[in-house]
Amino acid sequence: MRVAVLISSRGSNMQALVNACKTEGFPAEIACVLSNNPDAAGLDFAKANNIPTKVIDHREFEEREEFDAALSDYLASEKIDLICLAGFMRLLSAEFVNRWRDRIINIHPSLLPAFKGLHVHERAIESGTKFTGCTVHFVRPEMDDGPIIAQAVVPILQDDTPEILAQRILVEEHRIYPLALKLIAQKKVKVHGSIAKISEATEGSGSLTNPAVDT
């Protein structure tokens, strides 16, 4: 399975995916890392790991649809099977999302459908909820919406700041994103309406939530 990872800045989830794909027998390869931001720090990591990189700067396009069309055409020309959004901070048009339906996934730092959008960790702490976490899901035209593939739960501690909480959630993000990719590449994930069903979900674990599983 040829995978494109789309980033906008740091790219730590992209690094987790790259490292997972390097492990023996992993059923996917990162065919390219693409960024809308030429200064994205993650591009350096990709280059250092001999992964082809591509920058398509959204500021060079007047309309969102034109940017999305350029993105889509590039991904198609690279024969990409699956797109992984990894901190890609651009909203994608419905046309783009529908063209890649069930072939585009995203990671979000909350337990969706709670806390969609931005400033997620601040909002989770302020809400008083005791647990939050992260979610990998198929992408649908609405923001942070779509069938959920994997989630991990992270407790919110009394003294948490958004930064400290984000750091603990990130550890879980780096665990479940490669797990979700592996399940898809193994063709174990089927979408039924709004639900992603995982075959053999209990194999070796309780697979898709905490506690930690062997990916």
Shortest distance in whole angstroms from residue 140 CB to ligand GAR: 13
Nearer to ligand GAR, 53 or 186 (CB): 53
Which SS3 state, helix, strand or coil, does residue 104 take? strand
Residue 60 has what DSSP assignment? G
d(CA 134, CA 141): 20
Residue length of the chain: 215
Contact between residue 154 and residue 165 where contact means Cβ atoms under 8 Å apart: yes
Nearer to ligand GAR, 121 or 182 (CB): 121
Nearer to ligand GAR, 43 or 107 (CB): 107
Chain residues that interact with ligand GAR, rule: CB under 6 A: 7, 9-13, 86-87, 107-109, 144, 170, 173
Shortest distance in whole angstroms from residue 107 CB to ligand GAR: 5
**Residue 63: burial class (beta carbons within 10 Å; 0-12, 13-18, 19+):** exposed
CB atoms within 10 A of CB 165: 21
Shortest distance in whole angstroms from residue 51 CB to ligand GAR: 15
CB atoms within 10 A of CB 94: 12
Q: Is 119 a catalytic residue?
A: no
Nearer to ligand GAR, 15 or 72 (CB): 15
Residue 144 has what DSSP assignment? T
Task: Choose the catalytic residue: 58, 108, 119, 121.
Answer: 108
- Amino acid identity for residue 2 in this structure: R
Shortest distance in whole angstroms from residue 12 CB to ligand GAR: 3
- Catalytic residue IDs: 108
